[in-house]
Amino acid sequence: MDTKHAVTVLLVLMLASAGLNGRIITSSIAGQSIVTSGAVVPQTAIAVMNTDISFTTTADSMGAYTVPVLQPSVCEVTASGAGFQTYRVTGVRQPIMRRVHVDVVLQLGAIRPLVTTRRSVLFAEGQRCQG
């Protein structure tokens, strides 16, 4: 066996073993920030929190956001933007190595009570959570 082939085999074995022992197991949350009419809300501040850590991001010009690397858990997604009420979805389950889709639906208005939606279902890849 030549050296190049041996190095390739070694790298493949190392990557496979890393995946098997749980070091690379993650999930993600993605969605879109919209208003009740379906229009997108760009630049919305998004926070995803679980018991251990929180991640923040900002929706892009099309209202889309992604939080790409999360440990599987149950979390909360909060969204806020200027001129909109704060929106929160709780109980979002992140399965292992899956992307959960959570659209945030903002309501126009000044500072008002927080709008909270509780989700306690396990989402399969490609399913959407929309409040």
Dihedral, 99, 78, 50, 69 alpha carbons, nearest 10: 40
Domain membership of residue 85 (yes or no) is yes
Locus of tokens 């390739």 = 8
Q: Is the pTM of this model over 0.75?
A: no
Instruction: Note down the domain range covering 78.
Output: 26-130
**Domain contains 75:** yes
* Rounded (10°) CA dihedral 70, 86, 59, 129: 60
Question: Is position 36 within any domain?
Answer: yes
> Does 79 reside within a domain?
yes
Q: Domain for residue 42, yes or no?
A: yes
Give the model confidence (pLDDT) of 18-70 as tens digits. 544 545 567 889 999 999 889 999 999 999 998 778 899 999 999 999 998 77
Indicate if the pLDDT at residue 98 is higher than 70: yes
Question: What are φ and ψ of residue 87, in 5° steps?
Answer: -120, 140
> What is the pLDDT averaged over residues 96-101?
86
Q: What is the CATH number of the domain that holds 30?
A: 2.60.40.1120
Q: What is the number of structural domains in the chain?
A: 1
